[in-house]
Amino acid sequence: MNEEKRDDQRTTLAADSLPSASGAWWRLPLLLVVVLIAIIAARTSHTRTRGPSSPAKLQPPPVGDAAGKTVSLTIHFGDGKERKFDNVAWRPGMTVDDLLAAASRMTDGIYYTVVGDHEQMLLTSINSDANERAAGRHWTYSVNDVPADRSLGIYELQPGDRVLWTFGKQQ
């Protein structure tokens, strides 16, 4: 008799711990969908492609200034192609990202894509050349032949600086 009572108690406890047919079985899938949407929204909101929107709206940035303060940009695409943007007007507080933006506004400018902001900004593509998986090619940059040690969103340029972007395998 005692054993029958124990079996009844175990059955009751097990039944109480199971979700009921009208219970909240749908909450976990719903929560997962909400989290997935939030992750996608966060990633896409920080991805920006920059480049000329239409030829009619192109306005080249000023070339040099009265004091002749300029910076330059060279892009090695890794397949023998190279683009140069010399004598781009420098301004106080100008970053490498600002220089790329200036190059994107020039006639026959570039398109580039970044993710993140400020110290977390990462260049992911220039024109059709995008970073590849871990063992592949990636965009890296140097300023005055010194490999960059910070994000393009915060690296401030000085007059006369030469920025070189290279698409290749990391060394």
The number of distinct structural domains making up the chain is 1
Provide the residue-wise pLDDT of the chain in tens; the chain has 171 residues.
555 555 555 555 454 555 555 567 777 777 777 776 666 555 554 555 555 543 434 444 444 444 679 999 999 998 889 999 999 999 999 999 999 999 999 888 999 999 988 888 999 999 989 999 877 899 999 999 999 999 999 999 999 999 999 999 876
Residue 58 is encoded by which pair of tokens?
A: 């192109």
CATH of the domain at 104: 2.170.130.30
Query: Which residues span the domain enclosing 120?
Result: 49-169
Model confidence, pTM: 0.65
Give the helix/strand (H/E) hosting 74: strand 70-76
Residue 31 lies in a domain: no
Query: Does some domain include residue 8?
Result: no
Residue 140 falls inside a structural domain: yes
Q: Is 40 exposed, middle or buried (0-12, 13-18, 19+ CB in 10 A)?
A: exposed
